[in-house]
Amino acid sequence: MELDFDFSPKAPLTKVFNSLSVERGIEVYMLREDLVGGDIQGNKWRKLRLHLHSARQESQQTLLSFGGVWSNHIYAVAAAGKAFGFQTIGIIRAEEPEGSTETLEFARQCGMKLQFVSRAEYGEREQDYFKAWLHDIHGSFHLIPEGGADFLGLNGCMDILSDHTRAFDVITVPCGTGTTLAGMLLSMQPRHRFIGFSAVKGGAYLEDEIITKLNYFLMDRASAEEYRAFFKMETDYAFGGFAKVNDDLIQFMRSFYEEDQIKLDPVYTGKMMFGLKEMIVNGRFVPGTKVLAVHTGGLQGIKGIEKRGGMELYY
């Protein structure tokens, strides 16, 4: 699939949880963002597309961004740089000996230059003096925040919903920064209600983060606050914290793959689908509800969980 800055397709829909849907009288479909963008997969393409366009307009030759050693975002930025002819720099939250992962090897193969910083230094990445230090080292670049979590990333996520998603009542999406959900709220239909599944422990704060992002986009706090009525954060399915898993989650992902032939990642979409199934079983949705679950991609992160756990997730 050839990509360009205007490539903003409708992701296909796949019906899932078929036996459970019949039993409970609820239709569940998955929006296959994981099939959009190739190596720049899922919501990462949505978040990066306008950054790439902006960098080209600015005549910038280099993209710089931030992430961990298994970062989906770093993986996608490296792939985007290779695809569109940008040099790329990844500021990695780790000491260099920790940096031998499949994700970072892929980034290197794409031509990304990696700079490893301590966790304390990484925590300063939003500060002006830290950005000035990066410019002293690397010269001119187009900066993309961690996860693409800014105005351009949010704007790109407005394209996820389209005319083929109008008929759904409930839309679920996994949340790390809340950028994807914020963008989807701005392109919602009046009937839509959203559930954001936090991928981080204690993720209730993401509700306020999303309102802050909407305020930044709309430049109107009162208008941003009105969106609280249309979404809620589900915080019971983080499985102990970001990128943490247990046997129940792994078994669920395997059984879901056996039934629906769709791979889930254990950091984001796997947790969302586990939670969604439990909510359906517990009667949280009235019969007749049409649910759309957004698969945000991130499948390359499976390797990190497998390596850490010493197992193979999908046989």
**Can you give the residue ranges of every domain in the chain?**
13-39+158-309, 43-148
Indicate the pTM of the whole model.
Answer: 0.94
Is the pLDDT assigned to residue 288 strictly greater than 90? yes
Instruction: Return the pLDDT at 264.
Output: 96
Instruction: Return the pLDDT at 98.
Output: 63
- Residue 103 class from Cβ within 10 Å (0-12 exposed, 13-18 middle, 19+ buried)? buried
Range 43-148: architecture per CATH = 3-Layer(aba) Sandwich (3.40)
Is the pLDDT assigned to residue 311 strictly greater than 90? no
Would you place residue 99 in the very low, low, confident or very high pLDDT band (cuts 50, 70, 90)? low
- What mean pLDDT is reported for the chain? 93
Domains 13-39+158-309 and 43-148 share a fold: yes
Neighbour tally for 221: CB within 10 Å = 12
Phi and psi at residue 181, to the nearest 5°: -65, -40
CA nearest neighbour of 176 among 141, 213, 124, 143: 213
Are 69 and 99 within 8 A, CB to CB?
yes
Is the pLDDT assigned to residue 163 strictly greater than 50? yes
Distance CA 72, CA 82 (A): 16
Phi-psi region at 303: left, alpha or beta (left = phi > 0; alpha = psi -120 to 50): alpha
Task: Kindly state the average pLDDT of the residues 272-295.
Answer: 97
Range 13-39+158-309: architecture per CATH = 3-Layer(aba) Sandwich (3.40)
Task: Kindly state the average pLDDT of the residues 243-271.
Answer: 95
